[in-house]
Amino acid sequence: MDLILVNLIDGLVTGLLLFMLSAGLTLIFSMMGVLNFAHASFYMLGAYFAYQISIALGFWMGLLIAPLVVGVLGAGVERYGLRRVHQYGHVPELIFTFGLALLIEELVQFIWGKNQLPYSVPDALNFTAFAISGNSIPAYKIFMIFISISIFIGLLYVLTKTRVGMIIQAALSYPRTVEALGHNVPLIFMGVFGVGTALAGVAGVIAGPVLGTFPGMAFVLGSIVFVTIVIGGLGSLWGALIASLLIGWITTFAKSYNIEMENILTGLGISKPESLDDSIFRDFWSLTSPQIADILPYILMVLILIFRPAGLFGKRSS
C-alpha cells in the first residue's frame, strides 16, 4: 500500500513533466497543423540555458530567464523558419522541424560538449519533504508537481477566461474570420509557438537536475511526447493531460513491480515448454515488466491508433 503511494507520486511527477511538453506541442499542432519535432529540443535548450544562468545568477533566476530566452528563440524559429517553409506544405514543415531537432542537438554538443553537465538541485530544495514508511520523498519532487500544476491552471485560465485566450481559441478554428475582425493572426501564431516552446523550456529547467542535462535528453523524451499527444488525441489539451498521467503511471508501475510473463502465461493455463533454449519463444517467456516498461507507451499508441485513430479525446481522425 505504501509502495503504491510512492509510485503514485513518482508517476505523477513523470506525467506532469510530460504534460508540460505535450501541452505546448498540442497547442501548436491544433493551431498550425504542424507537429513540431524540435519541441523536445527546446526542452533541452531550457535545461542548458538554465544551467548556464544558474552558474552566474543562481537557480531561481535560471527558472525565470531561461524559459523566456527559449520562448523568444521559438518565436524566432516560427517567424523566420517555419513561416517560410509553410508555403511548401505540411510534409516539408515536418521535415524542417526534424532537421531543426538534429541541428539543435549538434549545436548543444558544439557549445557545451558531449558530457553530462553538473546541473543539480538547488540547496534550498535539497532536503526530504516527508517519508512514507521509509521511502523518502525529496522536496524537489513536490516542487516539480507544484510548478506543473500551477502552470496547467494558469494555462487553462488564460485560454478559457481571458480575452487573449478567446482570440487564440477563435484563431484555432477560424483563422480567416479572426483575421477579418482585425486581429493579427500570424502574430498570434508566433506568440503561441513562443509560449509553447517556453513551456517546454520550463520543463527543461526543472527536469534538468533530476533527469540529467546531456545532449541526448531531447531524444530520450522527444518520441514519448509524440506518443502522448497521439494517445490523448491530436490537439486536445485535456487528452494531453490524461495521456501524460497515464503514461507516467504505467511506466512507473511497470518498473517497480516485477511482473513476469511466465507467471501470466502459466496463470492463463499455458504450460511452460520443457527446454526453453530451443524454443523461438524463449525471450517471450522470460519477459519481465521492467524490461518492457519503456516500450509500453509505444504499444499503447499502436493499439490506440488501430482501435481509436482519433486518440482518447480527439475529435477528428486526422
- Residue 150: CB minimum distance to another protein, A: 30
CA gap 205, 50 in Å, rounded: 6
Judged by beta carbon, residue 60 or residue 174, the one nearer another protein is 174
CB-CB contact of 23 with 42 (8 Å): no
Judged by beta carbon, residue 63 or residue 101, the one nearer another protein is 101
CB-CB contact of 231 with 300 (8 Å): yes
Judged by beta carbon, residue 2 or residue 106, the one nearer another protein is 106
Judged by beta carbon, residue 56 or residue 306, the one nearer another protein is 306
Site of grid cell 517519508: 131
Judged by beta carbon, residue 109 or residue 256, the one nearer another protein is 109
**Up-side HSE of residue 18: CA atoms within 13 Å toward CB?**
32
- Residue 207: CB minimum distance to another protein, A: 20
CA gap 131, 109 in Å, rounded: 39
DSSP state of 174: -
- Residue 232: CB minimum distance to another protein, A: 12
- Residue 279: CB minimum distance to another protein, A: 9
- Residue 76: CB minimum distance to another protein, A: 14
The alpha-helical segments, DSSP class H, found in 38-89 are: 39-57, 59-77, 83-86
Q: Which stretches of the chain bind another protein, using CB under 8 A?
A: 33, 35, 81, 84-85, 87-92, 94-96, 98-100, 102-103, 106-107, 109-111, 113, 219, 223, 226-227, 230, 234, 280, 282-284, 287, 291-292, 294-295, 298-299, 301-302, 305-306, 309, 316-318
CA gap 10, 211 in Å, rounded: 13
